[in-house]
Amino acid sequence: MHSTPPEDPRPWVAQYGSHIPAELPVPALACLPALAQAACARHAAQTAFTTVMPNGMYGSLSYRQVDEKSDDFARYLRQVLGLQAGDRVAIQMPNCLAYPVVLLGVLKAGCVAVNTNPLYTAREMAHQFKDSGAQVVVVVDMFADRLEQALPHTDVKQVVITRVPEFFPPVVGGIVHAVMKHWNRLVPRHGLRYTALPQALAQGAAAGGEVRSWWGGLTHDSLALLQYTGGTTGVAKGAMLTHGNLLWNVAQMRAMCASHIEEGREVVLTALPLYHIFAFTVNFLCMFDAGARNILVPSPRPIQNLQRAIENYKITWLTGVNTLYNALLGEEWFTAFPPRHIKAAGGGGAAMHHAVVERFEQVTGAPLVEGYGLTESSPVVCFQPLNRHRHKDTIGIPAPMTDVRLVNDHGETVAPGQPGELIVRGPQVMRGYWQRPEATAEVLKAGWLYTGDIAVMDAEGTFKIVDRKKDLILVSGFNVYPNEIEDVLTRHDGVLEAAVIGVPDAKTGEAVRAYVVKRDETLTAEALMAHCRTLLTGYKMPAGIQFRDELPKTPVGKILRRDLRAEVLAAKTPNPH
């Protein structure tokens, strides 16, 4: 392929070929309930969701059942509780059959969903519920005791409690819940006043009401979701995602993956939590629109929890983060008997490591394609194309209708091959942060979303993330990007995981420190340093390597460098006591 002149603002379009349209029509449907209703009409009798427990027990809902039950939940919110259009409803549960019922019910009621991590502490829950103004919380029983602590500090008026095996066949559901409650002691005691989800649905069905009248007036500009960023930059902020943002991102993903998605025939494994924007848009919305069967795993940890789901169902699509794929490749049941039906796997959320991608593709014979996105962009910005040669170790190319530029600190576009901050413009970019105009103004400038990620673009328009702006390490004035060092470390067969941070250094300003989890217990720091010397120039070399049993991670599996940095700073601060 000839190289595109640097002045071309969209050099990546040439990579779309004949499979990916450069321009997409404005989504014809006005809102997500319309998308859901259309999908349910097309695939009414097909299985929409199956929740699989670690022991293989399962429950399922068809598209028709999801449609009917979510209608009843919408009636409960509007007719029984008296909620109005735009009121916020927090949803706090792991992957289970209740999630799509409640989420679609909230949107059908014309309300705004507030996705909430069920692992939050009481303090984090109180902040998110108070900040969003949520009036109703739907929580899984496993975390009701924390909600009880948080509730007095919120405006919540009604609590609905669900269970992981909700909508399972009665006997199976009873066994699963009894094991969770009495054997595994996962269901705590609490003193909340609440309505059980089945009871709420029954009340909604009895109350009646024309559901379409509540969502019929929604438009692309209507707020659908308050998706809180993880709080990695201070207090968690609610990204305001509209129905239009999410519909556009579904259309963009469907266009990028059209060669590998067959309507009504896909089976997608959802191990990442649906409350996270990656799984929410890609696994839930895109695959629901495509009539797929969604295999929901309530918790992917330990990784053996995925075994029955992978062995018992003909999985065609899988999404995950680097740590999830790395863990799968450490399991003999996965590598000895890899899933045979996988068409493609998607990676994102954090940088995919070269060694993990290579090994996954060797084991499964399917491409593991990396993408890039943010909560603030619904989330997908870039994706490696599936229909042609792709550049590995990159985030691929921008989705149709998405503009991407790389700029320096003065906002000027940098030359191809030079690192710059990645900024995005497109119909999937959020309206702003909920009730935070100052924070919004910091990241949205003249229609462009400033991501804080440093990237480079080659002449063909393929992008590679170098690192987070704030994670950059300055060694004697040289820029060192942790992603690069981590990738080198994990190429060593004896390394399971690695994290790299900058630590203060009297000589060089900052020095590179590596934290490593061993795959091979005989691995030494000396051997690892020797490996690094063959791949890294002097100033990029780790000044120290610390071995750990595990690394701090988010619930989604992203390694938390900030926790390691905080540990270093705390060690340098004298204890006043």
Check which CATH number belongs to the domain holding 525 and give it: 3.30.300.30
Domain boundary among the residues 203, 218, 233 is at 218
Q: Which residue has the tokens 């002449």?
A: 459
> In Å, what is the CA distance from 407 to each residue of 10, 128, 394?
15, 33, 18
> In Å, what is the CA distance from 345 to each residue of 171, 288, 568?
35, 17, 36
pLDDT, residue 233, reads 43
Q: Give the H or E element holding residue 215.
A: helix 212-215
Measured in whole angstroms, the distance separating CA 398 from the mean position of its chain's CA atoms is: 18
Buried b (16+ CB within 10 A) or exposed e, 348-387: bbbbbbebbbebbeebbebbbbbbbbbbbbbbbbbbbbbb
Q: How far apart are CA 192 and CA 151, in angstroms?
A: 9
Specify if 266 maps to a domain.
no
Does residue 205 carry a pLDDT above 60?
A: yes
Rounded mean pLDDT, 332-341: 96
pLDDT, residue 574, reads 47
Task: Show the domain range for 488.
Answer: 472-572
Specify if 356 maps to a domain.
no
Tell me what percent of the residues of the chain surpass a pLDDT of 90.
79
Specify if 301 maps to a domain.
no
SS3 state of residue 417? coil
Does residue 447 carry a pLDDT above 90?
A: yes
Domain boundary among the residues 168, 197, 218 is at 218
Beta bridge pairs of residue 270: 296
pLDDT, residue 576, reads 43
Specify if 273 maps to a domain.
no
Bigger pLDDT: 490 or 185? 490
Q: Which of 40-49, 230-239, 253-262 has the lowest mean pLDDT?
A: 230-239
pTM of the complete model: 0.86
Whether 262 and 291 have beta carbons less than 8 Å apart is answered as: no
pLDDT, residue 7, reads 63
Specify if 126 maps to a domain.
yes
Q: Which residue has the tokens 């007719």?
A: 79
Does residue 90 carry a pLDDT above 60?
A: yes
Orientation of helix 197-207 relative to helix 98-108, angle to 10°: 40
Domain CATH number, residue 91: 3.40.50.980
Band (pLDDT 50/70/90 cuts) for residue 273 is very high
Q: Give the H or E element holding residue 330.
A: none
Does residue 287 carry a pLDDT above 60?
A: yes
pLDDT, residue 231, reads 42
Q: How far apart are CA 11 and CA 397, in angstroms?
A: 9
pLDDT digits (tens, 9 = 90+) for 122-133: 888 999 999 999
Tell me the Cα Rg of the chain: 24
Query: What amino acid occupies position 79?
Result: Q
SS3 state of residue 547? strand
Max CA pair span of the chain: 73
Six token digits for residue 125: 């829950």
Does residue 388 carry a pLDDT above 80?
A: no
Cα end-to-end span (Å), the chain: 66
Bigger pLDDT: 187 or 30? 30
pLDDT digits (tens, 9 = 90+) for 491-547: 999 999 999 999 988 788 789 999 999 999 999 999 999 999 988 888 899 999 999
Specify if 241 maps to a domain.
no
Whether 126 and 137 have beta carbons less than 8 Å apart is answered as: no
Which residue from 204, 223, 178 is spatially nearest to 57, judged by alpha carbons?
178
Six token digits for residue 434: 């909920």
> In Å, what is the CA distance from 556 to each residue of 23, 281, 299?
33, 15, 10
Q: Which of 58-72, 122-136, 179-193, 290-304 has the lowest mean pLDDT?
A: 179-193
Helices (H), 329-456: 332-336, 354-364, 437-443
pLDDT digits (tens, 9 = 90+) for 7-33: 678 999 999 998 899 999 999 999 999
Domain boundary among the residues 218, 237, 264 is at 218
Buried b (16+ CB within 10 A) or exposed e, 20-34: beeebeebebbbbbb
Handedness of CA 306, 339, 374, 48 (dihedral sign): negative
Specify if 193 maps to a domain.
yes
Q: How far apart are CA 91 and CA 197, in angstroms?
A: 12
Q: How far apart are CA 501 and CA 559, in angstroms?
A: 11
Whether 313 and 52 have beta carbons less than 8 Å apart is answered as: yes
* Number of compact structural domains in the chain: 2
Band (pLDDT 50/70/90 cuts) for residue 348 is confident
Six token digits for residue 320: 């995950």
Specify if 23 maps to a domain.
no
* Average model confidence (pLDDT) across the chain: 92
pLDDT digits (tens, 9 = 90+) for 93-118: 999 999 999 999 999 999 999 999 88
Bigger pLDDT: 469 or 141? 141
Q: How far apart are CA 143 and CA 186, in angstroms?
A: 9
